[in-house]
Structure 1
């Protein structure tokens, strides 16, 4: 028991540690997790998951994969398919057939694997997987359509690839016993349909019970995740790997039933997905044995090159032939196809079963599947930004600012940020209030930011900072609290509490966003100062022109709002934090009309005199 506890702790430390390093460095998290598990397992021998968990390891990983697929399904909304639906449909049907055929041919002709094993492995190779695609999309900024296609393909094709492997295995197993191939495939397709129906019925049951109060709020997450595991197990009893179909259908169905209760579950299920992905990758890579790699040779290296440069490009280009997807996006999709958990997990399962049927090459699947995962993750993980930039499918790379509320103050701030090349968007539900933004040519969105449809009509990915600055302070607090989980609690801001507001009616600090300005200006104070002629000013700092010099050029009552660093990152002056300005930073201040030159000269002279007097006082006797 102590060994298992130590392994669980180490898996958590290594997985989340790899995620943190990836966040700090910008490296692909999946690569770091694979490296961490490989070092801890076969290289250094710190722990062996198979020895620690024994027969429980496989069902643990299987349930984890099921939960990850369900979480991925919850992120798929049919409204995303308005611009990419035909491409997704082609890749989920024609693309699977082409990828399966070409993958099997490459495995047999290039890697030298016998036909039954090659056909089975070709079926598994159609998967890409949300466990690898989603982290890559999260870390890189790719335009909405190619990102949506990759996401849908990854989630939909994961259970499809598993079923392809099952079909191939059962076909060779039963036809070897003299049973007709049609009699093999037809029942399995029926079983897959039944599994999908089970997932859909479970989703309908959840969608009916959650809004009606039959499940208390504190039990909704446990009930949901228990239901997912139950659906997965029941469907697997009908047919091997059919559970992946059930949970994927269940997730997609729930995502499109507009269940309001699901919004409160999103933060938790995203955290669970990160923990599961981290843990599963560490466990799988740590379980690898040196003998599994002994089968690898130059032919397998040639197969990996063919997979990268022939199989995947041909699958995409043929599948999307004649579609409306632009050629630069097709070429991008033709390159990005990292494989992950499902490939390794299913390959390991069928390697044992093929060995039992007498196919010696079944043993190569474990090492070959790991080689495919490592090579594709490294190749695609480290090149996705470069390829996206080369093919001009790169989205905004500078952090963006989302301004909720179209007021004179937010319009003035948006103008300053727009001039600094910061992506900015003004959001308001009133077309009339958005008039000044339209007149000044500022990007805007007309709609209610709290409406669930906004998540699909407005791409929030480029905006890493949110400022709620409407005239309604309670509404600003609601917006900040709603988006704190998505944008980050430290990246949602609002104007402070107005000085004329009764403290008894003040909203709790735990709900509010961070208060802008060190003085904590409220909505009323900002509006009054704007009427008095206050304006935004931006000042660029350098080695010779420091922050103190910038303060000298501004009126004494000026309030610093934020720093814009050279890479576009924003650091706000708040009631609780004061960033440290440095050379190359741009200071945005909110200040009264500029004083006379004589007044500024007097301020500078007084400051120099004070510094000179301080120097004399501190000089030694």
Structure 2
């Protein structure tokens, strides 16, 4: 006890050291949460919320956001949110989006409106929250989160259509939802009552105006980034990455200056433009932004959960949990089915999209901001807002995040796919050739951690990576639904016996799969072909190709005899 007292007295004389120690602890806890997430396949946010609450002000008080000051904490959270949303926009591919644009527009308009109206009604009547506060809560939970959606979709295999719709909705709805929330907040502090229909018109007008202004700010910043690249080209990779980070923060700042809470719309649009136009070092930029996003999520969720009053969750209790379940099982499905009614999506895909709508970093951070603003205006309800939003984040992430793989398997929404075993030179070349022309999905199994890391960027292009021993039958049962959606198997590893074993496993589960295997030793060809597996030996293939090229050259070359008289 005396040692702790002495340590406290010592740290009291060095406030900067307290900041450094708190930051180091946040990084350490965040690292542990990410490792647990990788090992358990659960979203990291679950662990971040649990650890933050346990180590926060009402727990062990080892992580205290107050050391950064309220202004500093809000600035950190704002920049982190900007980075996260920009990275989400960067990953959106317009080539896929144009085929699903109607659904996305429906999800960020009609679905948001249904969520706000529906959840305001539910919380008002079930919990007894005052109408204006119910509307504000409903506005905050109308957003899903790219911070949760993207990691979940990386762990399961779904069609490119479903992936595009969910990821694009998560990015764009953040901007719509937050601007709707700030418009509702202005309505709340105006003192108008829900019965005054005319007073609701400014909400819709402000949302539309703020979105347009934010989009223009984002487009302007993206244009500026491209101009800088053109003028000072060529730029080193490090400088280009720094430029993109600067543009991210600048777009957010400009959007906020033009119209409050338009910053999220600005960074989303800037990210989408840069991600879908010619830009140098784009793959390394995506990797860099991914690392920053991981760090941002860690910092924000630990800071927010560390400052959470846990007694609020207990006071809200079962009624609050029921409200969240109604959001998940009634309001969200209603909004999704109406929003996608005019799109060519089958009912299985609709059910999965309706299931997967976890709330994330934007909802949680905005709830903290509005709680502080309500206190500043002397309006009761700040506690219930924070408590309900955090309960919504926690329940949706735990239930929907952990159940996503089961739902995908139950609904059988995985696309017909080509399965490639081996991420070496042959496997990589195959993927490069298939990913643009292959309408079906591409799955790669590789056991070498270094190779897997070098191939991570392919996840952003729709390739499903599995880091595992391809000889483990459990992989095919649990992650590939007993290979029921596999149409073609190509084994390219340097180990012929591994290739043979994989073919045997797949053939046992689904005999009609078309199989092709690279063989390194031609002596084993007969074993493969007896099982109906087509084979190719690289040396033989190279010799054949050389012969074909020589024959083509000799055929097209002029004959030396025609000049002889």
Normalising by the residue count of structure 1, what TM-score does the alignment of the two structures yield?
0.67
Give secondary structure in 1 for the equivalent of 2:315: coil
Q: Distance in 1 between matches of 2:157 and 2:265?
A: 30
- The 3 A distance-change label for structure 1 pair 73 and 487 is closer
Contact 2:332 2:354 in 1 (8 A): yes
Whether the 8 Å contact between 1:4 and 1:53 is mirrored in structure 2 is: yes
> Among residues 354, 361, 373, which one is paired with 2:393 in the alignment?
373
Question: Quick check: 1:390 aligned with 2:410?
Answer: yes
Aligned equivalent of 1:439: none
Output the CA distance in 1 between the equivalents of 2:379 and 2:392.
21
Task: Give 1:134-173 correspondences, 5 Å limit.
Answer: 134-173=150-189
| 1:480-517, Cα deviation, whole Å (9 max, x unpaired) | 999545269xxxxxxxxxxxxxxxxxxxxxxxxxxxxx
Task: Go from structure 1 to structure 2 and tell me whether the alpha carbon gap of 1:566 and 1:156 turns closer, same or farther (over 3 Å shift).
Answer: farther
The yes-or-no answer on 1:190 pairing with 2:161 is: no
Counterpart Cα distance in 1 of 2:471 and 2:142: 54
Cα distance in 2 for residues equivalent to 1:458 and 1:231 = 36
Residue equivalent to 1:462: 443
Structure with greater proportional helix content: 2
Residue 559 of structure 2 corresponds to none
Q: Counterpart of 1:283?
A: 303
Shift of 1:43: 6.1
Q: Mapping of 1:358-437 within 5 angstroms?
A: 358-394=378-414, 400-401=420-421, 426=430
Aligned equivalents of 1:236, 1:34: Cα separation in 2: 28
Q: From the superposition, tell whether residues 33 and 400 of structure 1 become closer, same or farther in structure 2 (CA, over 3 Å).
A: farther
Match of residue 18 from structure 2: 3
Deviation at 1:48, TM superposition (A): 3.1
Aligned position for 1:521: none
Residue 119 of structure 1 is matched in structure 2 by 135
The DSSP-based 3-state class of the residue aligned with 2:421 is strand
From 196, 219, 243, the counterpart of 1:223:
243
**Structure 1: runs of 5 or more not aligned:** 415-423, 430-444, 468-479, 489-537, 542-558, 571-586, 596-621
Q: Which has the higher contact order (CA 8 A, sep 6+)?
A: 2
- Please list, as runs of the form range in 1=range in 2, the aligned pairs for 1:55-70 lying within 5 A after superposition: 55=70, 56-70=72-86
Structure ID, larger Rg: 1
1:69–1:248 CA contact under 8 A, matched in 2: yes
**1:561, distance to aligned residue in structure 2 (A):** 5.1
Map 1:12-161 → 2, pairs under 5 A: 12-42=27-57, 44-55=59-70, 56-161=72-177
Would you say the 8 A contact 2:417–2:442 is kept in 1? no
Q: How many Å separate the matches in 2 of 1:43 and 1:389? A: 40
1:383 aligned counterpart, secondary structure: helix
Whether the 8 Å contact between 1:71 and 1:269 is mirrored in structure 2 is yes
- Name the structure 1 match of 2:337: 317
How big is each residue's C-alpha offset from its partner over 1:113-168, in whole Å with a ceiling of 9 and x where there is no partner? 11111111111111001011111111222222212111111001011110010111
1:593 and 2:523 correspond: yes
Is contact 1:73-1:155 (8 Å) kept? yes
* 1:486 has 2:416 as partner: no
**Alpha-carbon distance in structure 1 between the residues aligned to 2:98 and 2:189:** 42
CA apart distance, 1:369 = 0.9
For the structure 1 residues 404 and 304, does the alpha-carbon distance in structure 2 shift closer, same or farther, using more than 3 Å as the test? same
**1:236 — aligned with what?**
256
Change (3 A) 1:96 1:457: farther
Q: Is the 8 A contact 2:57 2:307 kept in 1?
A: yes
User: How far apart, CA to CA, are the structure 2 residues paired with 1:380 and 1:392?
Assistant: 17
Range moving further from structure 2, 180-189 or 360-369: 180-189
Distance in 2, Cα, partners of 1:156 & 1:289: 30
For residue 382 of structure 1, report the CA deviation from its aligned partner. 1.3
Match of 2:374 among 337, 354, 374: 354
Unpaired runs of 5+ in structure 2? 1-15, 460-469, 474-493, 506-516, 526-565
Contact 1:99 1:126 in 2 (8 A): yes
Measured at CA, do residues 59 and 339 of structure 1 come closer, stay the same or move farther in structure 2, by a change above 3 Å?
same
Question: Shift of the alpha carbon at 1:232?
Answer: 1.0
CA 1:427–1:244: 2 relative to 1, 3 Å: closer
RMSD in angstroms over aligned alpha carbons? Answer: 3.8
Quick one: distance in 1 between partners of 2:359 and 2:210? 26
d(CA) in 1 for partners of 2:234, 2:182: 37
What's the offset of the Cα at 1:337?
Answer: 0.8
Cα gap change, 1:186 to 1:331, in 2 (>3 Å): closer
Aligned length: 463
Structure 1 contact 111–302 (Cα < 8 Å) conserved? no
Task: Tell me how far apart the structure 2 counterparts of residues 397 and 230 of structure 1 sit (CA, whole Å).
Answer: 41
2:219 is equivalent to residue 204 of structure 1: no
User: Distance in 1 between the 2:328 and 2:432 partners?
Assistant: 46
